[in-house]
């Protein structure tokens, strides 16, 4: 008899590789039901997150075609980049909802194990004291970042395609080949090459560069001001007005300059200063695919009044006011961590 009612496996599965399969196989060996939580489920489609949550679930189902949804339970998990406790809460809530049927039927709490790889610091992050932790020996598989590089180079380089094939289950490789023929691949591969060229241009620097940017979170009469990116990376995604800090300006001055250049917002500097309600540094190490980028965001709040006209400019294809109520449904359309920055200022972070 299996010692656990449920085993939990958390991952982004971008793509699902042999190490993931080893962890899930072990989860089935010790539990009647396996709950797989797919992370970054609402992220925009980029070279870092090329697959939708539905496509990643399809990978799981293809690897375990004979298992019913009753045994292999897949749930989607969003990121909470700047609030670890809310992320932990989300994991607990998802598992709790699944396990509730067992509680009602057995009138007793289920036995739950958290299955994780021994690779790196990721295992330490998943510390849920109410569940047993079961570690699986790390498989000798390239990191997901390397596998994604193989994917995007595979259309022109057969050797990298073979490396990818040797690192993922065969059903996943078949899905990846189909993905390469699909509607999203060409644009993602082009963006991947662009990002590679950006990183390549800094290789001669004596130290890895750290970039400093600034972003403006402008909320006016229940609306937020966003710009649509006109260039790579993230072309077409919605973002906060902002950009890189120039050599001869303060970060706050840079914020005001970028705000005006990208949106043509005609609000005097004195009025913006009076509406400034907060500022924060956002420095998740992998927040930007261009390299280590630290941004300083400033929150301007105008509680009431007619919305000022805006117009996209500089490298912004468009500028637009969005009702705050639309934001929860826009996460998959927003650039980098900008949704999480807004979420933090508006109290949800």
Q: Provide the CB-side half-sphere exposure for 103 (13 A, CA).
A: 8
CA distances, 239 to each of 136, 192, 224, 292 (Å): 39, 19, 11, 18
Confidence of residue 127 (pLDDT cuts 50, 70, 90): low
* Residue 112 CA from chain centroid, whole number: 27
Helix (H) / strand (E) containing 196: helix 185-201
Enclosing domain of residue 334: 211-345
- In 3D space, the residue among 106, 283, 304, 311 whose CA is nearest the CA of residue 211 turns out to be 283
241 and 296 together in one domain: yes
**Would you say 224 and 186 are in contact if contact means Cβ atoms under 8 Å apart?**
no
Phi, psi of 216 (to 5 degrees): -110, 125
158 and 244 together in one domain: no
Reply yes or no on whether the pLDDT at 74 is more than 70: yes
For residue 151, the model assigns a pLDDT of: 95
Reply yes or no on whether the pLDDT at 104 is more than 90: no
For residue 14, the model assigns a pLDDT of: 96
Tens digits of per-residue pLDDT, 167-196? 999 999 999 999 999 999 999 999 999 999
Phi, psi of 188 (to 5 degrees): -65, -40
217 and 137 together in one domain: no
Reply yes or no on whether the pLDDT at 92 is more than 60: yes
**Would you say 12 and 38 are in contact if contact means Cβ atoms under 8 Å apart?**
yes
Which of 94-98, 102-106, 212-216, 336-340 shows the lowest per-residue confidence on average (mean pLDDT)?
102-106
12 and 85 together in one domain: yes
170 and 234 together in one domain: no
Reply yes or no on whether the pLDDT at 327 is more than 60: yes
Structural domain contains residue 190 = no
124 and 178 together in one domain: yes
For residue 334, the model assigns a pLDDT of: 97
For residue 347, the model assigns a pLDDT of: 84
CA distances, 19 to each of 39, 58, 215 (Å): 16, 17, 38
Reply yes or no on whether the pLDDT at 126 is more than 60: no
**pTM more than 0.75:** yes
Query: In 10 A of CB 25, how many CB atoms?
Result: 14
66 and 167 together in one domain: yes
132 and 238 together in one domain: no
Confidence of residue 52 (pLDDT cuts 50, 70, 90): very high
47 and 160 together in one domain: yes
Burial class of residue 154 (count of CB atoms within 10 Å of its CB; 0-12, 13-18, 19+): buried
First to last CA, the chain: 42
**Which three-class secondary structure state does DSSP give residue 96?**
helix
**Would you say 243 and 329 are in contact if contact means Cβ atoms under 8 Å apart?**
no
Reply yes or no on whether the pLDDT at 349 is more than 70: no
Structural domain contains residue 286 = yes
Structural domain contains residue 80 = yes
For residue 222, the model assigns a pLDDT of: 97
- In 3D space, the residue among 102, 86, 122 whose CA is nearest the CA of residue 33 turns out to be 102
Average pLDDT for the chain:
92
Average pLDDT of span 257-261: 97
Reply yes or no on whether the pLDDT at 121 is more than 50: no
Reply yes or no on whether the pLDDT at 60 is more than 50: yes
Q: How many structural domains does the chain have?
A: 2
Reply yes or no on whether the pLDDT at 100 is more than 60: yes
Average pLDDT of span 251-263: 97
Query: In 10 A of CB 214, how many CB atoms?
Result: 27
126 and 166 together in one domain: yes
Which residues make beta-bridge pairs with 113? 7, 132
Ramachandran assignment for 305, one of left (phi > 0), alpha (psi -120 to 50 degrees), beta (any other): left
Task: Give 123 or 235, the one with higher predicted confidence.
Answer: 235
What sign has the CA pseudo-torsion 13, 18, 23, 24?
positive
Structural domain contains residue 122 = yes
Helices and strands of the chain, counted as H and E runs: 11, 12
For residue 227, the model assigns a pLDDT of: 98
Confidence of residue 314 (pLDDT cuts 50, 70, 90): confident
Query: In 10 A of CB 161, how many CB atoms?
Result: 19
130 and 223 together in one domain: no
- CATH number of domain containing 143: 3.40.50.620
Reply yes or no on whether the pLDDT at 240 is more than 70: yes
Structural domain contains residue 204 = no
40 and 124 together in one domain: yes
Reply yes or no on whether the pLDDT at 123 is more than 80: no
- CATH number of domain containing 266: 3.90.79.10
């Amino acid at each position: 008899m299996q010692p656990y009612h449920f085993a939990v496996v958390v991952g982004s599965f971008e793509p699902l590789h042999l190490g993931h399969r080893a962890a899930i196989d072990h989860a089935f060996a010790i539990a009647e039901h396996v709950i797989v939580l797919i992370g970054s489920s609402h992220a925009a489609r980029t070279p870092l997150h090329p697959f939708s949550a539905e496509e990643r679930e399809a990978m799981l189902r293809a690897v375990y075609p004979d298992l019913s949804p009753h045994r292999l339970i897949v749930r989607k998990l969003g990121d909470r980049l700047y609030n670890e406790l809310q992320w932990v809460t989300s994991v607990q809530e998802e598992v709790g909802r699944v396990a509730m049927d067992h509680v009602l039927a057995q009138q007793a709490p289920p036995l739950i194990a958290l299955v994780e790889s021994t690779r790196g610091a990721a295992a330490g992050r998943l510390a849920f004291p109410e569940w047993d932790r079961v570690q699986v020996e790390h498989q000798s598989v390239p990191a997901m970042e390397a596998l994604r590089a193989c994917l995007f180079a595979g259309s022109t380089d057969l050797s990298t395609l073979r490396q990818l094939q040797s690192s993922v289950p065969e059903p996943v490789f078949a899905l990846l080949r189909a993905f390469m023929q699909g509607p999203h691949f060409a644009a993602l591969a082009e963006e991947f090459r662009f990002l590679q060229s950006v990183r390549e241009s800094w290789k001669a620097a004596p130290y890895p560069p750290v970039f400093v940017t600034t972003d403006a979170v402008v909320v006016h009469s229940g609306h937020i001001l966003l710009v649509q990116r006109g260039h790579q990376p993230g072309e077409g995604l919605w973002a906060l007005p902002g950009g890189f800090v120039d050599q001869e300006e303060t970060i706050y001055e840079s914020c005001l300059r970028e705000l005006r250049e990208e949106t043509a917002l005609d609000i005097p500097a004195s009025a913006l200063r009076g509406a400034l309600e907060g500022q924060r540094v956002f420095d998740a190490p992998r927040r930007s695919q261009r390299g280590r980028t630290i941004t300083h965001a400033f929150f301007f709040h105008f509680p009431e009044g007619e919305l000022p006209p805006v117009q996209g400019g500089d490298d912004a294809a468009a500028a637009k006011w969005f009702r705050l109520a639309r934001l929860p449904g826009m996460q998959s359309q927003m650039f980098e961590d900008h949704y999480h920055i807004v979420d933090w200022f508006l109290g949800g972070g």
